[in-house]
A = this chain, B = another copy of it.
Amino acid sequence: MRPRAYGQYCGFARALEVVGERWAMMIVRDLLVSPKRFSDLQQGLPRIPSNVLTSRLKQLEGAGVVQRRAVSRAQGGGVVYELTPYGAELDDAVIAIGRWGAKRLGDPRPDEIITPDSICMALHSTFRPESAGRTHARYEVHVGPVTVYAIVRDGAVNVGKGPLENPDLVIEAGPAFRALMAREITPEQALKTHVIGIQGDPKYLTKFVQLFRI
């Protein structure tokens, strides 16, 4: 049941043996955002067969990357899967991969979906700490049916799913969101052509494209 080995005594090869199989890193990506139930993972990764999800979770658990935790009956029972501290250390790698992939992310293909977790990952990986300085900003972002938030503070970003209380800026976006973050269009153009809608001070949108940039 163990994944195939690469036969090299090398940290990189070992890492790929653990998280290099199909779907494994996608599961880690989603779990980096928050712990999840089996069915949450299925929902976030709609194309993964259930047997493959089962198999990957077992392998990741065996490798010490993921752990199961029982949920109290009061909260619905069952189990959630979460990253171990060791698994959570994959964040740098996941962010680096996501940043590279975002560079040539064109427009969505017809059958592609957008999940809250992927948006969270995208905000995380495109965040530029060097542009943050002492900025404190609270963003709520709507992309299609997805709502996520990003709180920038002390040179770091905290992202999560759902709405936010007292946001400095609410951004309503569609496909133009990527173009905005890639600087293919300016905030002014985006607002004038109404491909992006906001509630709040437009200055925060200007700051946004400095903070998050593909």
Contacts and interface: CB of A to CB of B under 8 A. Distances in A.
A99 B108 contact: no
A25 interface: yes
Given A20-B25, A25-B20, A13 B100 contact: no
A125 interface: yes
Contacts of A134: none
Contacts of A98: 10-12, 15
A22 interface: yes
Given A8-B114, A12-B98, A96-B97, 20 more contacts: A5-B112, A6-B26, A6-B45, A6-B47, A7-B47, A8-B112, A8-B118, A10-B114, A11-B121, A11-B214, A12-B101, A12-B102, A12-B121, A14-B105, A15-B100, A16-B25, A21-B22, A93-B96, A95-B96, A96-B96
Interface of A: 4-16, 18, 20-22, 25-26, 29, 45-47, 64, 86, 89-90, 92-105, 108-109, 111-115, 118, 121-122, 125, 214
